[in-house]
Amino acid sequence: MGKKVLVQYKKLSKTYMGSKNEECVEALKEITFDVYENEFVTVVGPSGCGKSTLLNITAGILPYTSGELFIDEVKIKEPTPNIGIVFQAPTLLEWRSVLDNVLLPVEILGKDKKKYYEEAMNLIKLVGLQNFERRYPWELSGGMQQRVSICRSLIHDPKLLLMDEPFGALDAITRDRMDLELLRIWKEKRKTVIYITHSIPESVFLADRVVVLSARPAKVVKIVKVNLPRPRTVEMQYTKKFKDYCHFIVNLIAGEAEREEPIGSGNREFH
């Protein structure tokens, strides 16, 4: 298909060294997969399996023990600003307005704020918060704050967007809405997204491919390609095909690997 690879994990491993009498914790074991440009990849796995470790390593703020990581063909050893991150908590700066919060990365990177003003306003409008740019975080709901957080992650035009259960703290209704919003933003901005979640239905709903991780130490169990048409709709979540995907992944995680392909799922890659 000639798609360009943006992120490459090659046998990436991470072991946390214990201090004194504590044992070493093996968090990631030979993680290997590629992420293509403009792709939306979700990562699912049981709690504590190391998903956040993977994210921190990808962001360049956590060193890995062995293996290789390439982003845009550059070997990653330290933080690269070519990445935007969104966490579960919005972590906005309370004393700054929405606009100033969005512009924070640009300030840190030492760039001229004024040049990014227009882009910031565009992003704010894109997430549906126009007229709120002068407001402060305490005046916004959780969902709105998280949308500001998304703007902040995009202001410096990174190629890769890392999201660690960004909507986990929101109520179910808002979460569903935000998922649709996110897909809309993704389509608009054409970024590559690695999205970590606990929710299997969410992982299937959002993704082009779902990376399923095992329990600690995390290994790639399987990568499931989701052959559902875009744009995704809420209705799709009630189709048999969708449920089959979910069921398949649930079983994978529960440790019962299915051998045959689920009906109608199309291609299914595994590494």
Partner 1 sequence: MIWEFLSTFFIPAYILPAPSVIFYQFFTYEAMWYHFSYTLYIVLVGFVLAVVGGLMLGILISHSAHLQRGLSPILSGFWATPKSAFAPLFIVWFGYGDMASIFVVFLMAFFPLLENTMAGMRATEPELIALMRSLRANQYQILEKVRIPKAMPYIFSGLKIAAPLTVIGAVVAEFISGYRGLGYIVLHAQTFVKIPLTFAAILAMLIIGLCLYGAIALVERRLLPWVRRSRSV
Q: Which residues bind partner 1 (CB under 8 A)?
A: 56, 59-61, 78-81, 83, 85, 87-95, 104-105, 107-109, 136-139, 142, 145, 156
Phi-psi region of 11 (alpha: psi -120 to 50; beta: other; left: phi over 0): left
Provide, rounded to whole angstroms, the least separation between the CB of residue 59 and partner 1: 4
DSSP 82-134: TEEEE-SS----TTS-HHHHHTHHHHHTT--HHHHHHHHHHHHHHTT-TT-TT
The answer to whether the beta carbons of residues 245 and 239 sit under 8 Å apart is: no
Provide, rounded to whole angstroms, the least separation between the CB of residue 224 and partner 1: 28
Q: Closer CB to partner 1, residue 109 or residue 234?
A: 109
Q: Which of 142, 144, 143 is nearest to 132 (CA)?
A: 144
Cα–Cα distance between 238 and 13 in angstroms, integer? 37
Cα 90 from chain centroid?
Answer: 14
Provide, rounded to whole angstroms, the least separation between the CB of residue 196 and partner 1: 13
Provide, rounded to whole angstroms, the least separation between the CB of residue 234 and partner 1: 27
Cα–Cα distance between 216 and 193 in angstroms, integer? 23
Q: Closer CB to partner 1, residue 66 or residue 141?
A: 141
Q: Closer CB to partner 1, residue 94 or residue 260?
A: 94
Provide, rounded to whole angstroms, the least separation between the CB of residue 136 and partner 1: 6
The structure tokens 């700066």 sit at 93
Cα–Cα distance between 220 and 210 in angstroms, integer? 10
Q: Closer CB to partner 1, residue 50 or residue 105?
A: 105
Cis before 231? omega within 30: yes
Provide, rounded to whole angstroms, the least separation between the CB of residue 102 and partner 1: 13
Provide, rounded to whole angstroms, the least separation between the CB of residue 251 and partner 1: 32
Q: Tokens for 249? A: 């992944």
Which residues, 6+ apart, have CB-to-CB distance to 146 below 8 Å? 86, 90, 166, 167, 169, 170, 178
Q: Closer CB to partner 1, residue 55 or residue 246?
A: 55
Q: Closer CB to partner 1, residue 74 or residue 93?
A: 93
Q: Closer CB to partner 1, residue 139 or residue 261?
A: 139
**Amino acid in position 32:** T
Q: Closer CB to partner 1, residue 88 or residue 237?
A: 88
Cα–Cα distance between 63 and 58 in angstroms, integer? 9
Provide, rounded to whole angstroms, the least separation between the CB of residue 2 and partner 1: 30
